[in-house]
A and B are shown apart, each in its own frame.
Chain A
Amino acid sequence: TGLAQQRRSEIAQSLPSTNLSSEKQIDPSLPAPAPGFARARVADNPQAPEAKPVGEKTCVACHQLEADHFTHTLHALGLHVANRSDPSIPVCETCHGAGSAHAQNPQGKGLIIAYTKNGGTPIDVQTKTCLTCHAGGPRDHWSGSVHQRNGLSCSDCHNPMAKFSVEGSMAKQSINDTCAQCHKDIRLQFNRRSHMPLPEGQMSCDDCHNPHGSLSNGSSLTSFPLAKTNTVNETCYQCHAEKRGPFLFEHAPVRESCLNCHSPHGSNQNTLLVAPIPFLCQQCHTQQRHPNDLHTPNSLMTGKNPDERIMGRGCLTCHANIHGSNAPAGSKFHE
């Protein structure tokens, strides 16, 4: 820490008074700023209303190392181009607000918009600043979402100050690792016997969930929290379109919600099933004759009465088209 303190004091002594980019003139020979950055302005920091912009060079005088990392991000690439074209567009201060108060009192909490635990900036100021540019689209329903109500900040999941992930400016090495910061139990369910290919890096939590909020709050039988689509099944159909049908003969719970029988994050049964067959089916099927019998280990191949209703695929050996059948003779999903 001694070295760090010494560097900071040395740098502070050589801090330029200001480097107000707005004092420069727009160079008409340069291309206009890209639309995504054209409206970037110094962020509003309610905790330092009197602060004045100081410009990137002043920031970098102390934050050289941060600048080294930030330079290789998409935010930096776009902001630097925009700043050259229109000097009124800041770089650091687009997200961190005017820096003069912070430069005068670097230890003063909240004098700069900080995206850290002890930076002193309220969560809603942090998120509001990000949404200044990133409002709408996938974030249209952030306000009132479960993550917003639980006091999450954008920077709990995203860290645009360096390249920490190959996609999404995530705070961790992947989307899945980022979600697992809080949802480790859900992540571990993907280690079970049957699971979606998430541990294998073939998909992410974001394929099914919109962590920024959605129209689905999971309160109905056909929805789940932060769903990326309007219903459970629409989400599943994104990768399992063959299950969409509609089939000539439908299986009511299947049409209602895939989650009636499947555990989406992982299961110790085959094919993500909630319970072992035939007991999974016998939660609903008490029809006369064969569906309502109680099977015991005696019905297994090693028992005295091997029985196809429980061996191998169990019920599905005969009722194979259990998701629905398009066969005129398939009302019981036999064909």
Chain B
Amino acid sequence: VPEQKRDSRFRLSEEQKQNRWIPAFAGMATMMLFSTAWADSGIGVDTWRGNKLDPTAGQASEACDARGTTWLAPLQRRSPTGNLYDCPNEAPLAHEIGEWLYYGVLQVGYIGTGDQGVAAWNRYADWRSDKAILSLLDAHFERPSDGSYVDVRASRISDEDQYYQAVFGKAGAYKVQAFVRDMPNILSTDARSIWNGVGTNNLTLPSSLTPGGSTPAQVAAASAAAPTMTLGVKRSKQGLSASTYLTPEWTAYVNLSDEQRKGTRPYGGPFFFAFAFEGPPFNLNDGGVNETIKPINDSTININGGLRYAGPEWRFDFSYTGSFYRDKYTSYNYQSPFKLTALPVIPGAIAAPLYQGQMSTEPDNNYHNFQATATRKIPWNGEISISASGGRMSQDDALIAPINCQGVFGIGLGNLQLGPQNPMLYDCNKWNTTDALSRKTADMRIDTSMFDARIVLQPTPQWTLRGDVKYDRQDYRNIYLAYNPLTGQYGYPSENGTQGSIVPGESGIWDPRTDPSALTRVRSLPLDIQTIDANFGADWKFSDKNTLSATLDYNRYEPSNRERSQIDASSVKLTWVNRSLDWLTLRVNYTYLKQTGNTYNFDPYEFTWSSSMPGYVPPATGTPAHTVDAMRKYDMSSRDENKIDVMATVMPRDDMTVSASVRGDWNSYDARIGRQAYDTVGATVQWEWQFATRSSISAYAAWDRSRLGLSNVQDQANGTGADPTLGGSNYALNGQWWATDAQRDWYGGFTLNHDIGRVRLDVNWNYLYSRGLTDYTYAGPTALAHLVGNEGPGPGGGAFPNMIYRVNSITIGATVPFSERVSLRLFDYYERGRINDWHYLGFDQGLVVGNRVYTDAGPQSYKQNLIGLLVNMKL
């Protein structure tokens, strides 16, 4: 892959660059429609724009006012919970231009980093090279005579890591905001592609490889010769929002944004299993596992707007939310290098020479939602509120053909000539066209509706009563039937036709005339959802400093075509808030939840299979069971949950705060097969000491652990067993196994801000050590995917290597003022990251093993240092 490919992944086309401004103009036009525009920006995303260099978007570089907050007390005051308020910034040095006042800051400089090109270091940031940067431009203009103001804020690390925003408005009247933002998401910096055309929708093999005819050694050589490349996705977003008052009671708002995503990411590419044939009895390099590279080139326009009324008795809220997603590609194609071989279970079996694969991309989709809320104050110092919404999400993308091969797919007997002599051979021309589909566009839709009614009463200052009923529904419209009108057959060519080219009789196509016993998917799965939730609660303030709360909740969840058609969850939540001690605020929450439901149907998907079609003939051994009867999927399973959450804010001294929390969540699932337990426990303590007006120290330490336990069972009949019973002939108990994934995290950190003479010193250290251990036990060796040979006849067990993620980072900075307006900040940021992920164990030795080719070599450990020199000028 040419070098320039690496950086072209993020480059916006000229068309896209032009498109960046289209929504801005469209938004402006929208606002013109609201010429007396009412707006509000209380919903949606884009609530914050910063970067890794300064997540506070400039606030962190502001100097604290040496005079403190007030002359009337020497120390910072505390919030009602008890946290110390921050020291306010130094008053800005404002200038006058006629009626306008302005002030601001410009921070420019240079960062130097010996970047090793490691993805984890550059995640969501572009620190890949030494460069001059605009760390911050923040300018504020205001006209005290009428309350008008203008704010401009910008930061530019690189073309891929930057934001610019401008706001103008009039306090209490209106506000208009526009922004442009670019954010990188680097996914891999050690990828090697055997394909040409990375970033496009057509991945082709180099001349050194023969599509469908290369050996693993040849593919390994091509992979080793490929240059390392970076895979990642850049998000480029621009937005416009406006909000304004119509009257003191009525407001309106509109928010519009357009985001483009451009880049590449590692993806899949199945040409059937490789693992199944490498050992006895076949000893073949067969199938093909291709980690392809998906092109990302799409855009999303989000818009929301509404009207709101807030009066003394009534409140209303009417809103619209819309989203419009467009993908440049409907699918992408790739070539598989590996040779396919028909299993020698039938004399003369010959595999069709397939090498062309396809992967659909996400379809263009539209979303509309309208919501209205009416709230009225009622007697007993209460409120009653009713909300209703209706929405629709839909897509009608053109469908791709079931396969994109040429010639034939399947298995020939002695030759690859189509005809009655080759019943397992199929004509690509009758499947590689959209004429082979029951319809040519997806035409899928989900209609959503929601109704919520709630009431809150405060009959006395000591009592608050709460009640809420919510109804939510998603109606899934339409269903797809996999029927080929050209052949009269049902189903689809499985895995680009390769499964039926390797395994006789497993084409994925059901033919009621010639292959009536084939088991394959023929229908899509509509998933309607209905939820009814009702809760009632009471808060009892039994003293000025103590409040007890209890909430009873009942939730009925009714999904269609799932293992249960009704799931009932009942819970009680108790809350105690205590402020009786001046030096302590304590909050304790406990929840007990019990989830049950109606009869669990372990196989609700039968109607989507050919076995549900008239004309289906079960095989002599019976229709294979889809799954084991004891499986309980964890979202559908009965479950008991105990959850506790304790938060304490302690004030040992007037200038010191200690915050501590303990949280636990224990879930027990009623499942012999499936998730059996998922528990999380954690504790956090943080300490802050504001030992002088401009000086503070804080530190934190935290620990958490999670434990997820599951069980599964290996089938014995290699896919032909008709008995779904756990302990039966197929799912025998000696095939059962158990796994536990235990995660541990240890966190620590320290922050210091202190003046030493005229120099302001800041130190920040953060540490995280995560260790994941996945271990397993099994009832018998038949549970195992592969036998090594040293297994005993009975139970056994083991563990995977620890999954490690350890990050240690420290920043030391010094800010030296040269004058009232100019200061210099010098800082050094060192970070060391260690990552061990056993999924990628051995990938550093090569990315090809058997008929498998991988692109991403996995996460990398790193040591990085970034030095920055920034000049800070008050405007």
Task: Give the residue of B183, B452, B718, B805 whose beta carbon is less than 8 angstroms from that of A268.
Answer: B805
Question: 0/1 per residue, A306-324, Cβ < 8 Å to B?
Answer: 1111111110111111010
Give the 3 A-B residue pairs with the shortest CB-CB distance, closest first: A201-B50, A320-B268, A36-B172
Digit string of A16-35 for contact with B (CB within 8 Å is 1, else 0)? 00000000000000010111
A-facing mask of B248-277, CB < 8 A → 1, else 0? 100100000000000000111110011110
Q: Does A105 contact B (CB under 8 A)?
A: no
Residues of B749-790 contacting chain A, CB below 8 A:
766, 768, 770, 772, 774, 776, 778, 783-786, 788
> Is B527 part of the contact surface with A, judged by Cβ < 8 Å?
yes
Inter-subunit contact A140/B747 (CB<8 Å): no
Interfacial chain A residues near B397, Cβ < 8 Å: 326
A65 in contact with B67 (CB, 8 Å)? yes
Neighbour of B786 across the interface among A71, A276, A286, A298, CB < 8 A: A298
A82 contacts across to B, CB distance below 8 A? 172
Residues of B within 8 A of A204 (CB): 47-48
> Using an 8 Å CB-CB cutoff, how does the interface string of A273-317 with B read, 1 for contact, 0 for none?
011110100111111111011111111111111111111111011
List 10 additional A-B contacts (Cβ < 8 Å) besides A119-B77, A275-B708.
A152-B81, A174-B59, A215-B452, A219-B533, A293-B783, A308-B275, A311-B849, A313-B839, A317-B291, A331-B524
Q: How far is the CA of A223 from the CA of B83 in the complex (A)?
A: 30
Chain A 237-270, CB-CB to B under 8 Å as 1, else 0, gives 1110111111111101101110010000000111
State in angstroms the CA–CA spacing of A332 and B125 once bound together.
35
Is B57 within 8 A of A331, CB to CB? no
Q: Can you list 9 contacts pairing A with B, beta carbon distance less than 8 Å?
A: A137-B251, A138-B42, A184-B686, A217-B533, A241-B365, A247-B395, A268-B772, A286-B674, A287-B627
Contact of A312 among B44, B77, B124, B858 (CB under 8 A): B858
B401 at the interface (CB under 8 A from A): yes
Across the interface, which residues of B come within 8 angstroms of A295, CB to CB?
Answer: 785
* Minimum distance in angstroms from A6 CB to a CB of chain B: 10
- Which B364-381 residues sit within 8 Å CB-CB of chain A? 365, 367, 369, 373, 375
Cα(A142)–Cα(B68), bound, Å: 32
Q: Given A162-B89, A166-B56, A289-B715, is A276 in contact with B774 using a C-beta cutoff of 8 Å?
A: yes
Whether B674 contacts A284 by the Cβ 8 Å rule is: yes
Q: Is the CB of A150 within 8 A of B575?
A: yes
Cβ A335 vs Cβ B48 within 8 A: no
Among listed B26-34, B144-152, B198-206, B339-347, interface-contacting one: B144-152
Complex contacts, B393 vs chain A, CB 8 Å: 244-246
Known interface pairs A174-B56, A328-B492; A289-B634 also in contact (CB < 8 Å) = no
Stretch with Cβ within 8 A of A (4 or more), from B218-226, B551-559, B862-870: B551-559
Contact of A298 among B67, B85, B375, B788 (CB under 8 A): B788
Docked pose: A217 CA to B554 CA in angstroms: 12
Are B783's CB and A65's CB within 8 A? no
Please report the total number of A residues contacting B with Cβ < 8 Å: 173
Q: B16-24, B108-116, B443-451, B614-622: which lies at the A interface?
A: B443-451
**Contact B784 A294, beta carbon cutoff 8 Å:** yes
A164 near B492 with CB under 8 A, answer: no
B323 near A237 (CB under 8 angstroms)? yes
Q: Which of A7, A116, A242, A286 is in CB contact (< 8 Å) with B327?
A: A242
**A221 to B635, Cβ gap below 8 A?**
yes
Query: Chain B's nearest CB lies how many Å from the CB of A260?
Result: 6
Q: Does residue A13 face the partner (Cβ distance < 8 Å to B)?
A: no
B529 interface neighbour in A37, A256, A268, A286, Cβ under 8 Å: A256
Tell me if A165 and B59 are in contact (CB < 8 A): yes
A176 at interface by CB-CB < 8 Å = yes
In the assembly, what is the distance between CA of A6 and CA of B718, in Å? 89
Q: Does B838 contact A (CB under 8 A)?
A: yes
When C-beta atoms are compared, the residue in chain B nearest to A314 turns out to be B839
A328 near B399: Cβ-Cβ < 8 Å: yes
User: Once bound together, how far apart are the Cα atoms of A309 and B850, in whole Å?
Assistant: 14
CB < 8 Å neighbour of B80 from A156, A256, A319: A156
* Known A34-B173, A171-B79: A292·B712 in contact at CB below 8 Å: yes
Known: A207-B47, A328-B492, A335-B360. A305 touches B79 (CB 8 A): no
| Residues in B641-675 with C-beta less than 8 Å from chain A | 647, 649, 651, 659, 661, 663, 673-675
Chain B residue nearest in CB terms to A327:
B360
Instruction: Please tell me if the beta carbons of A175 and B80 are within 8 angstroms of each other in the complex.
Output: no
Contact B798 A296 (CB under 8 A): yes
Cβ of B625 within 8 Å of any chain A Cβ, yes or no, is yes
Is B663 within 8 A of A185, CB to CB?
Answer: yes
Are A171 and B856 closer than 8 Å at their CB atoms? no
Q: Is the CB of B147 within 8 A of A294?
A: no
* Interface check A108, CB cutoff 8 A: no
Q: A14 interface residue, CB < 8 Å from B?
A: no
How far apart are the CA atoms of A246 and B529 in the complex, in Å? 14
Decide if A246 touches B446 in the complex (CB within 8 Å). yes
A241–B300 touching, CB < 8 Å: yes
Residues in A whose Cβ lies below 8 Å from that of B535 = 217, 219
Contact residue among B302, B539, B585 (Cβ-Cβ distance under 8 Å from A149): B539
How far, in Å, is B776 (CB) from chain A's closest CB? 6
Q: Do A166 and B124 touch (CB < 8 A)?
A: no
The answer to whether A174 and B57 have CB atoms under 8 Å apart is: yes
User: Which B residues are in CB contact (< 8 Å) with A306?
Assistant: 275, 842, 849-850, 852
B268 touches A270 (CB 8 A): no
Residue among B120, B357, B559 with max Cβ neighbours from chain A (10 Å): B559
Bitwise, B441-462 to A at CB < 8 A (1) or not (0) is 0101110101010101000000
CB-defined contacts of B786 to chain A, threshold 8 Å: 296, 298-299, 303-305, 307
Q: How many whole Å from A250's CB to the nearest CB in chain B? A: 5
C-alpha spacing A285/B145, complex, angstroms: 68
Inside 8 A of B389's CB, which chain A residues have their CB? 230
Is B516 in contact with chain A by the CB < 8 A criterion? no
Given contacts A171-B86, A301-B841, contact A81 B145 (CB under 8 A): yes
Q: Are A37 and B171 in contact (CB under 8 A)?
A: yes
Q: Which residues of B contact A75 (CB under 8 A)?
A: 171
CA distance A303 to B789 in the complex (A): 13
The answer to whether A155 touches B79 (Cβ under 8 A) is yes
Q: Contact mask A61-85 → B, CB, 8 Å, 1/0?
A: 0111110110110110110111000
Q: Mark B296-335, 1 if CB is under 8 A from A, else 0.
A: 0010101000001110000101000001010100010000
Contacting pair A137 B40 (CB below 8 A) = yes
**At the interface, yes or no: B679 with Cβ under 8 Å from chain A?**
no
Which of A63, A163, A188, A246 meets B684, CB within 8 Å?
A: A188
Whether A104 is near chain B, meaning CB under 8 Å from some CB there, is no
Question: Cβ of B171 and Cβ of A81 under 8 Å apart?
Answer: yes
Q: How far is the CA of A212 from the CA of B42 in the complex (A)?
A: 11
Our pick among A123, A136, A159, A300 for the contact of B838 (Cβ within 8 Å) is A300
- For the complex, what is the distance from the CA of A34 to the CA of B553, rounded to whole Å? 44
Interface residues of A in 158-195 (CB under 8 A from B): 159, 161-168, 171-177, 181-182, 184-185, 188, 191-193
Which residue of B has the minimal Cβ distance to A183?
A: B661
| Cβ–Cβ contact B527 & A173, under 8 A | no
Report the separation of the CA atoms of residues A153 and B278 in the bound assembly, to the nearest whole angstrom: 65
A250 touches B402 (CB 8 A): no
Smallest beta-carbon distance B705→chain A, Å? 12
- Distance (whole angstroms) from the CB of A198 to the closest CB of chain B: 8
- Chain A residue nearest to B43 (CB atoms) is A228
Are the C-beta atoms of B624 and A288 separated by less than 8 Å? yes
Max chain B Cβ within 10 angstroms of own Cβ: one of A66, A203, A217, A294: A294
Q: Is the CB of B743 within 8 A of A268?
A: yes
Whether B470 pairs with A34 at a CB distance below 8 angstroms is: no
Q: Is A326 within 8 A of B363, CB to CB?
A: yes
A182 to B659, CA, bound (A): 7
Chain B residue, CB-CB nearest to A192:
B770
Neighbouring B residues of A81 by C-beta, 8 Å: 144-147, 171-172
Contact indicator per residue, chain B 378-403, by CB within 8 Å of chain A (1) or not (0): 00000101010100011101011111
Is A77 within 8 A of B171, CB to CB?
Answer: yes
Is B419's beta carbon under 8 Å from chain A? no
Contact check: which of B46, B89, B712 meets A286 at CB < 8 Å?
A: B712
Option from A136, A167, A237, A256 in Cβ contact (under 8 Å) with B309: A136
